[in-house]
Amino acid sequence: MSEARDVLSIEDMNVEFPTTSGGVKAVTGLSFSLRAGETLAIVGESGCGKSTAAMSILSLLAMKSPCRVSGRVLFEGHDLMKLSQRQMRAVRGNGISMIFQDPMMALNPVFTIGWQIAEALKLHLRLSPAAARRRAVELLDLVGIPSPSERYDQYPHNLSGGMRQRVMIAMALACEPKVLIADEPTTALDVTIQAQVLALINRLKAEMGMAVLLITHDLGVVWEVADRVAVMYAGRKVEEAAVDDLFAAPAHPYTQGLLKAASWQNDSSGRLPEIGGAVPSPLSMPPGCSFAPRCSRATPQCALAAPPLVGNARQFACYHPEPAVA
């Protein structure tokens, strides 16, 4: 596909939080693009910068904490980093929507679920209260909530976790966004509900032609729904590839460790493999490759400077990648 089809492009994003011990970089040099109608999954351990990057796309971090975000966030060719918070409000929920990790925390407990969906419709689409209510009921029905007219007047605590997640999806899709950011959309859901939510997102993506940015640590979910995968470690992207290519022949040793730990590649001993060592503290990152202290293939070269990200359709940041893609 041509570059013109990219609906969202992140270019050299850096996110730094000031602390009493100095600046802490949560995201370093992150770049990726997202095309209409595709799903890009960003995976990695907790704390690798996945959610921080997603929140930074919509300038949500600046509303909650002091941080410095640099780089470019191009949405349909327009740099969102240059917009004010007031201008960003017109983008959030309208052009780009987000499903948050915890629907109970994201939904306001003092308002009915229907009111919360209708409010977005009135704000962005200028619908009348009656028209907004009708559309909100339609959306609740679209995401598979039974008796949507009755559910409209219920509060978040009246619903199960799976139902609340469906409400969050209905809210995110209310204005038919071009991009849907799904941050751990199946966290804390049982396997049956998880499968239903993923199938729903896939179906609506196909029907509406929207792009999906999926933030997750669950490689099973990635295999089910993603077209491409970007792997993050310690704030950096270390590999990106089509999902089939990455699962069949991971290039970066960290990606290989993730797949083995998820039992996609069975250990001959029958034990669940693990990645030795620990993620370095963001306050004391190693000078070279951040994965080198845990890597069995590390050489003195790896400790001197972080390896650059190389490749086009298939990218990796490693001086000693798997021979199949070297």
Kindly report the backbone phi and psi dihedral angles of residue 50, in degrees, each rounded to the nearest multiple of 5, phi listed first.
-60, -60
Mean pLDDT of the 101-128 span: 90
Percent of the chain with pLDDT over 90: 58
What is the CB-side half-sphere exposure of residue 177 using CA atoms within 13 A? 28
pLDDT above 90 (res 273): no
**What confidence category does residue 261 fall into, taking pLDDT thresholds of 50, 70 and 90?**
confident
Kindly report the backbone phi and psi dihedral angles of residue 118, in degrees, each rounded to the nearest multiple of 5, phi listed first.
-65, -35
Per-chain mean pLDDT for the chain: 88
Mean pLDDT of the 94-109 span: 86
> Could you give all domains of the chain from N- to C-terminal order, each with its CATH number?
3-226 (3.40.50.300), 233-325 (no CATH)
What is the pTM assigned to this prediction?
0.90
Q: CA gyration radius for the chain?
A: 21
DSSP 133-190: HHHHHHHHHHTT-SSHHHHTT--GGGS-HHHHHHHHHHHHHTT--SEEEEESTTTT--
pLDDT above 50 (res 1): no
How far is it, in rounded angstroms, from Cα 321 to Cα 243? 18
How far is it, in rounded angstroms, from Cα 26 to Cα 14? 8
Better-scored residue on pLDDT, 20 or 80: 80
Pairing of strands 39-43, 228-233: parallel
pLDDT tens figures, 134-147: 999 999 998 889 99
Mean pLDDT of the 209-220 span: 91
Q: Supply the pLDDT for residue 267.
A: 56
| CA 100 to chain centroid | 10
pLDDT above 50 (res 64): yes
State which amino acid sits at residue 258. Answer: L
How far is it, in rounded angstroms, from Cα 128 to Cα 156? 24
